C-alpha cells in the first residue's frame, strides 16, 4: 500500500490521507459463497414486451432527484424480478457476457451493493440489464443510475430497460447515450447526485475508459465510495483495453486499487476507490489550458 501511494500525485496523496474503507468492506473473492440462482424463463411474446416500453425524457429527469429524496423499496420478490427479466429476454440472443456467467462477480456485486452507506449506485454498461437487476435486488433502498449506449444498438436493451423500470420504478434511472458525453452532462444537470458505489462496465477502449473513470470520480461521494470494474485483469484480448485504462487511472491518481484478480482466461475483477479531488483538479487544469490557448490565439 505504501508503494502504491508513493506513485500518486501530491493532490491524490492529500485526498487519500483522509480516506478509509467503508464499514463492512470485505474481499469479495475470498468471501465467495453461493451465487444467486435465477429461475428458468418461461415462454415470451416479443411484440408484447416491445410495445410495453414507455418513453422517458432525456436523463429520466423526472426520476433523477437529490439522493435525499425518499426512495421506496420494491415489494417484488427476487424470484419474480428475475423471472420477469428472463421472460422478456427469452427470445433474444444476448451478444455480450453478463455478470451472471461468473459466480465470483455475482458475489462481488451483491456484497458491495449491500455495504453500509450505499444509497446511490452508478453504472456504465446496462446492455441486457442483469447487473442492474442484481444491484437493485441486493440493495432494496438504493437508487441506480445506469449509463448506456443508444437503445437501438441492441433490441433486447430496450426490452430489459422496460422490465427494470416496471419492477423498480424511480429506483432505476436509465441514461441513454455515449457515456463519454452523458456522464459529464448528467453531472452538470444533477450535481447533487453522488455515487456511493460505481460499477464501470461500459467502455473497453483504454482512453475512453479512463475518461469515464474521471467523470465517475467527479460524481462519486468524496466521503466514501467503492469502485467495481469487471473485465480486468484477464488474459483474453478483449480485456486489454480496460486493463491498460485501469493502470493509467492508477498512475494518474484517479483511483486507488484494492483487489485486482483474474478469475479465469476470459474474466477478471478489480475493486478500489475513486478519488474525486484528483479528477476535479484534472478538469480544472484542462479548462485552464483551454482558456490559455484561446487567449494566445486572440492576442496573436
CA angle 135, 136, 140 (to 5 degrees): 125
Tens digit of each residue's pLDDT (9 = 90 or more) over 241-277: 999 999 999 999 999 999 999 999 999 999 999 999 8
3-state helix, strand and coil shares in percent for the chain, rounded to the nearest 5: 45, 15, 40
Tens digit of each residue's pLDDT (9 = 90 or more) over 131-171: 999 999 999 999 999 999 866 678 899 999 999 999 999 99
- Is residue 183 predicted with pLDDT exceeding 50? yes
Higher pLDDT, 212 or 298: 212
The domains of the chain are located at: 2-65+74-299
- Is residue 125 predicted with pLDDT exceeding 60? yes
- Is residue 23 predicted with pLDDT exceeding 70? no
Is the CATH number of domain 2-65+74-299 1.10.10.10?
no
Nearest alpha-carbon partner for 100 in 203, 195, 200, 230: 230
Q: Are 155 and 128 in contact (CB under 8 A)?
A: no
User: What is the reported pLDDT for 95?
Assistant: 80
- Which three three-digit cell numbers place residue 155? 433490441
Tens digit of each residue's pLDDT (9 = 90 or more) over 70-118: 344 447 899 999 999 999 999 988 888 788 888 999 999 999 999 999 9
Amino acid at each position: 500500500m505504501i508503494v502504491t501511494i508513493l506513485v500518486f500525485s501530491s493532490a491524490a496523496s492529500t485526498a487519500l490521507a483522509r480516506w478509509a474503507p467503508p464499514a463492512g468492506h470485505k474481499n469479495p473473492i475470498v468471501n465467495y459463497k453461493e451465487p444467486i440462482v435465477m429461475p428458468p424463463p418461461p415462454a415470451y411474446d416479443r411484440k408484447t414486451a416491445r410495445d410495453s416500453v414507455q418513453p422517458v425524457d432525456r436523463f429520466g429527469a423526472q426520476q433523477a432527484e437529490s439522493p435525499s429524496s425518499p426512495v421506496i423499496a420494491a415489494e417484488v420478490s427476487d424470484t419474480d424480478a428475475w423471472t420477469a427479466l428472463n421472460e422478456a429476454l427469452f427470445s433474444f440472443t444476448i451478444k455480450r457476457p453478463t455478470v451472471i456467467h461468473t459466480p465470483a462477480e455475482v458475489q462481488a456485486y451483491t456484497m458491495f451493493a449491500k455495504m453500509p452507506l450505499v444509497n446511490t449506485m452508478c453504472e456504465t454498461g446496462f446492455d441486457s440489464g442483469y447487473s442492474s437487476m442484481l444491484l437493485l435486488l441486493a440493495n432494496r433502498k438504493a437508487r441506480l443510475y445506469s449509463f448506456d449506449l443508444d437503445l437501438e444498438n441492441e433490441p433486447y436493451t430496450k426490452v430489459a430497460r422496460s422490465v427494470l423500470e416496471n419492477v423498480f420504478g424511480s429506483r432505476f434511472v436509465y441514461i441513454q447515450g455515449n457515456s463519454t458525453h452523458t456522464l459529464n452532462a448528467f453531472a452538470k444537470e444533477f450535481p447533487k447526485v453522488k455515487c456511493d458505489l460505481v460499477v464501470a462496465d461500459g467502455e473497453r477502449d483504454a482512453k475512453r475508459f479512463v475518461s469515464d473513470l474521471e467523470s465517475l470520480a467527479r460524481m462519486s461521494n468524496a466521503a466514501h465510495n467503492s469502485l467495481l470494474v469487471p473485465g480486468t485483469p484477464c488474459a483474453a484480448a478483449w480485456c486489454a483495453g480496460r486493463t491498460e485504462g485501469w493502470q493509467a487511472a492508477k498512475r494518474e491518481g484517479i483511483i486507488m486499487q484494492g483487489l485486482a484478480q483474474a478469475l479465469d482466461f476470459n474474466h477478471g475483477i478489480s475493486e478500489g476507490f475513486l478519488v474525486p479531488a484528483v479528477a476535479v483538479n484534472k478538469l480544472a487544469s484542462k479548462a485552464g489550458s483551454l482558456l490559455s490557448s484561446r487567449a494566445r490565439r486572440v492576442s496573436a
